[in-house]
Amino acid sequence: MSEFVELKASVRERVGKGAARAERREGLVPAVIYGDNKAPEAITLPYKEVYKQLHTGQFLATVFEIDVNGKKSQVLARDCQVHPVKDFPMHVDFLRIGKGTKVSVSVAVSFLNEDTCPGLKKGGALNVVRHELELTCAPNAIPEVIEIDLAEADIGSSIHISDVTLPEGVTSTITDRDFTVATIASSGPTEAEEDATEADEAEEGDGEEAASE
């Protein structure tokens, strides 16, 4: 499960584009903390800390504890604006975590037992449809990764969200369909695909004969 990552911040005395540019020149990243029925707080964070956390690959699924001059708030990053060319963080939006808060986060998928998977040993290929799952849970229950066991997956197997064991208290954000997470595909055409191809070729041949008559 996620652990808190501590960040120290300062109050932003001024807001606006001009003030934000000046803060970036000083090695700071402008940010805002909002939500939990409280007034928004404009803050700045050290650029190096934000850059480091942004490149962990878990930035939007990490619970941060931000210390603003001694006042601490537990938050989740909901958006990070990045420079379109230089790829550095320009502004971050943080959501306060209140009592009973539930959040939707994207969590990476990892596959177990690929080396012993029956379908892969027969020459099949793992086709990952979703590399991340959109999950809903309490902020302190965010999984670091969702593991899917391929020990019994054969060629033609489809792994749906209903086949995935989620941690207690964690549910799929998508609830209106049993979507596919991954499949074990054949390296060549299946019998059904070959039959369909033969049928298409037969229909084309019949059409050409009819046209020549």
Q: What is the pTM of this model?
A: 0.69
* Separation between Cα atoms, residue 43 and residue 34, nearest integer Å: 11
Q: Residue 3's pLDDT band (boundaries 50, 70, 90)? A: low
Task: Give the per-residue SS3 of 130-180.
Answer: CCEEEEEECHHHCCCCEEEECCCCCCCCEEEHHHCCCCCCCEECCCCCCCE
Write down which residue in 36, 70, 98 finishes a domain: 98
- Number of structural domains in the chain: 2
So what's the pLDDT on residue 203?
53
Q: The dihedral of CA 176, 160, 163, 169: what is its sign?
A: negative
What residue type is 88 in one-letter code?
F
Q: Are residues 117 and 47 in the same domain?
A: no
Whether residue 194 has pLDDT greater than 50? no
Question: Which tokens belong to 10?
Answer: 């300062």
For 130-175, write each residue's pLDDT tens digit.
Answer: 999 999 999 888 998 999 999 999 999 999 999 999 999 999 999 9
* Separation between Cα atoms, residue 158 and residue 163, nearest integer Å: 9
Nearest-10 Cα torsion for 9, 14, 18, 22: -40
CATH number (domain holding residue 23): 2.40.240.10
Enclosing domain of residue 112: 104-192
Write down which residue in 75, 98, 121 finishes a domain: 98
Cβ(162)–Cβ(125) below 8 Å: no
| 71 domain-assigned | yes
Question: Which tokens belong to 148?
Answer: 């899917």
For 72-114, write each residue's pLDDT tens digit.
Answer: 999 999 999 998 888 889 999 999 998 888 888 999 999 999 9
So what's the pLDDT on residue 13?
81
